[in-house]
Amino acid sequence: MPTSTDSATVRPPASGVRRSSQARILDRLATNIKPGQLDWIGLRTVRRGEIAEVESVQALAEQGLEGDHRCRKTRGSGRQVTIISREFIEQICRHMGRESIDPALLRRNLVVSGMNLNLLRHQILQIGEAIIVPGALCHPCLRMNENLGEGGVAAMYGYGGLCAKIVRSGTIQVGDAVTRLPLDTEVF
Q: Give the three-class secondary structure for 32.
A: coil
The letter for the amino acid at 81 is: V
**C-alpha span between 112 and 94 (Å, rounded):** 18
The DSSP output letter for 103 is H
Q: Is the separation of the CB atoms in 134 and 71 below 8 Å?
A: no
Single out the residue of 167, 42, 184 nearest to residue 106, CA to CA.
Answer: 42
With 0-12 / 13-18 / 19 or more C-beta atoms within 10 angstroms meaning exposed / middle / buried, residue 8 is exposed
Residues 6+ apart with CB under 8 A from 127: 38, 59, 110, 112, 172, 176, 177, 178, 179
pLDDT at residue 11, rounded to an integer:
33
* Beta-strand runs (E) in 9-109: 36-44, 51-54, 56-60, 64-65, 81-85
Q: Is the separation of the CB atoms in 16 and 166 below 8 Å?
A: no
Single out the residue of 59, 63, 67 nearest to residue 76, CA to CA.
Answer: 63
pLDDT at residue 15, rounded to an integer:
46
pLDDT at residue 1, rounded to an integer:
40
How confident is the prediction along the chain (188 residues), in pLDDT tens digits per residue? Answer: 444 343 333 333 444 555 677 777 777 777 788 999 999 999 988 877 889 999 999 999 999 999 999 887 767 677 899 999 999 999 999 999 999 999 999 999 999 999 999 889 989 999 999 999 999 999 998 889 999 999 999 999 999 999 999 999 999 999 999 999 988 777 65
pLDDT at residue 26, rounded to an integer:
78
Q: Which residues pair with 82 in a beta bridge?
A: 163
